[in-house]
Structure 1
Amino acid sequence: MSSDWPRVRLHVVTGKGGTGKTTVAASLALALASHGKNVLVCEVEGRQGLARMFDVDPLPYAETRVATGLRGPDGQRPGAVHALHIDPESALLEYLAMYYRLGRAGKALDRFGVIEFATTIAPGVRDVLLTGKVFEAVQRNSRNKGAVEYDAVVLDAPPTGRITQFLNVSDELAGLAKVGPIKSQADTMMTLFRSPRTAVHLVTVLEEMPVQETADGIEELRAAGLPVGGVVVNLVRPRDLPDEALAQAAAGRLDKEAVRADLEAVGVATTKTLVDGLAAEARDHAERRALEESQRELVDGLGVPTYELERLAAGVDLGGLYDLAATLRDQGLA
């Protein structure tokens, strides 16, 4: 097995709300760590989704070890997965302390509400602070003494509709700051975000709106010069029924007597209501599968590598997260 993205250090995961991008980001971090890598997975939306994924307490603004990576198929010792919840206020305080040595003075500014003003009134500055912390984690320097060096960073990013604006921080700051340290930092970050060391992966489900938003997102990223990674198709339904049975179910021609006989053969007592209900469920399933197949064709036509994750019947717990990580690794995303 080999990764489709061997040069990438920063994996940005985005997707329409409800597609499971946080699940994919957490699974990707575990998959990357299976190669013996130390991995940091970050979130910037304030939802504490990573804490729920890894079943740990709410994350502070500190890099916290949350898991050991998936063990490699060759018995390779896995790396560690750390997680970080980034909020703009803490990022600004750290920025002031690291670059301007404003330790106590920075906290005084916080008491006066200056930091809230800077991070709320000027959204471009807010995004620079959030992405700036991610940039610092990828390219550690002497200012952050004793910090863990990571082989890969995974960012659970904002939704697809905002991802280009979020990453394109240099252009977003153009109307706010044409010179100065923040503008300089934004320009420096763009050298990473537009390089082959970054890949923006998009998560979708096989429904019309998420697939269309994914296509639009890819177009916008490319127009901004940002590197498009792969598309992860999440929550895929199992393909248990053969095509012939699906066609019969969709047309309402399912052999109900055969269904009844199969149930009774395994000891299930049947009634007309039960068999009719199962036939109706089968028809709904067949129609849903037909819709998914049409959307899968559109995804295949996007011109980027695609990966699929099955819907887990019991939901996603930590064990399920490892299963998804193994799938992503085996398919080459990690």
Structure 2
Amino acid sequence: MSDTTAERPRSAAQEARIDLSHGSGGRAMRDLVNDVFLSAFANPALAALEDQARIPLADLCVAGDRLAFTTDSYVVDPLFFPGGDIGELAVNGTVNDLAVSGAVPLYLSCGVILEEGFALADLRRIVESMARAAEAAGVQIVTGDTKVVPKGAADKLFIHTSGVGAIPAGVEIAAGRARPGDRILVNGFIGDHGVAILAARGDLALQVPIESDTRPLNGLVRALLDACPQVHCLRDATRGGLATVLNEFAESAGVCMEFEEAAIPVRDEVRGVSEILGLDPLYYANEGVLVAIVPESCADRALAAMRAHPAGAQAASIGEVTAEPAGRVVMRSGFGGGRIVDMLIGEQLPRIC
């Protein structure tokens, strides 16, 4: 073997950990991109390796008459948790932000900030998880960026994703469209993601058999719209949970969101953890829960369509939209009383997504 061959830099595939050279723009960075990202996200738009993805406008126009564009960052701690990891979360979260506008999600970008010393095996695991999630959601990751910062300048790995989709003609979904008489629907159990992350952190020595609900919701939204094209409002209940979403709807539309406490789908394990810690499941982050405001005329069809979909098997009608008190959320208890449910000041659990 010649001296030249012996001195050749090892490829990313041979390295055990990320170092600063992997963000330098040179051979090490190229090897990292090729070995880890391109092999997992393979598609024609990404394979061109231009500084931007080039998407034919005709492809977007076939799917709809308006563009939906969203962006989000993911800093969840820990990176791996029961039911998922930061990579799957990043893809599903961005897909869902597009889906709740009524859009058909099509293309994602992926920006990764890596801390020096991060294990390459963990990066591969996360990227492969992203690839599987993208395939399941029917989207392509078509462009991206990688940066490496010195040890201590970040916490292991952060991911930034943006997404593009097309909104079909005739779909008009917005927070301000809620009207008195509308029904409030949710697609399943609330609080699973928040409790799964809390348990995974290990700070409280909790042994809770709960997994994150992270999943793509675009298929569920399509089934819902097929059954009830007049859906007024949709939003995924991530940070701030169900209570925050309902407050956003109430404020935007100038109406009251009134729901029954007993109608909220919550697992017994989530209720138990909440009672122990003095936390409220209404504010837990979710990664696979959406809230829909639909006209009374199609509410039963909408609920049946949600329950027929795997992501909505536990869907429930939890209340209705009323005129007063405007801009408020009211929870009715089993004893007939009601209380105002406000937005949180701050956050129950930091770095939840």
TM-score (norm 2): 0.22
More helix by share: 1
Specify the structure having the higher radius of gyration (Cα).
Answer: 1
TM-score (norm 1): 0.23
Greater relative contact order structure (CA < 8 Å, 6+ sep): 1
More strand by share: 2
